[in-house]
Amino acid sequence: MDEVFVIGDLHGSFQALEKLLTKWNAQKQRLIFLGDYINRGNDSLQVIQRVKELVEDYDAVALKGNHELMFMEWLKEPEKYALTFLNIGGVPTLQSMKTFVIKEEPTIDELIEGIKREHSQLLTWMENLPLYYRWGQYFFSHAGINPFVRRGEESTEHELLWIRDDFTEFPHEAEDIVVFGHTPTTNLNKDLSSEVWISPCCKKIGIDGGILYPDGRLNGVVLTEGNPSIIIHSVMNDELLIEQRTLAG
């Protein structure tokens, strides 16, 4: 396909996802998700099930985010990762995944056992999500890349899932145009807006609009092979917005 439709961090925002998908052309555009499907929002299970369905039915690309990593770590070692996982919005995820009969106040071990039993296939799928995807000159990852590598693929797992300022504040050496989420664009745009951020060098496109923040949005970016113009569809306060930008320096 000559076009891709790239969606930023979802964090359990199922209704926003469904609204944004009305702007996706399944016949013309490859769908790419940049990770962080779960935590904070109330519909994490619905979101991850929908993303998995789109991967299986439409060959969409779903990358792993640091929130998926932290969830899997918590399931394996709940005592070690309890504070981290619960403090980054893990409780709504657990509530959404409690779709099985269980006593009113289960222990952590009983809850984990139920989640693993009820959602075993989904958890295996989440565990094996890829860390990056390349499409021509574009490189997609959750957080960015090591700014000193020649190709994005040379970045470590930790960098692909966690990097922030070391990537966003300096030009990177790779020729790749890197499309990423993870860092809310309110932290990148000078006007503190949740709009898509394009770096001064035009080689970085940040699309995490902080959907659950005040004045946040869910961004979907349409990229076309060989065309510097990009179309941005956004869901903000339950309304659909559209904008055209260019990568030309």
Domain of 54, CATH number, reads 3.60.21.10
Strand locations in the chain (E): 3-7, 29-33, 61-62, 132-135, 138-141, 177-180, 197-198, 204-206, 218-224, 227-236, 239-246
pLDDT, residue 249, reads 55
| pLDDT string in tens for the chain (249-residue length) | 799 999 999 999 999 999 999 999 999 999 999 999 999 999 999 999 999 999 999 999 999 999 999 999 999 999 999 888 989 999 999 999 988 877 677 888 889 999 999 999 999 999 999 999 999 999 999 999 999 999 999 999 999 999 999 999 999 999 999 999 999 999 999 999 999 999 999 999 999 999 999 999 999 999 999 899 999 999 999 999 999 999 975
Task: Note the pTM of the prediction, 2 decimals.
Answer: 0.95
Domain that holds residue 72: 3-246
DSSP state of 153: G
The number of domains in the chain is 1
Cβ neighbors of 142 (< 8 A, separation 6 or more) are: 34, 35, 36, 63, 64, 65, 66, 131, 160, 161, 180, 181, 182
**pLDDT computed for residue 168 by the predictor:** 97
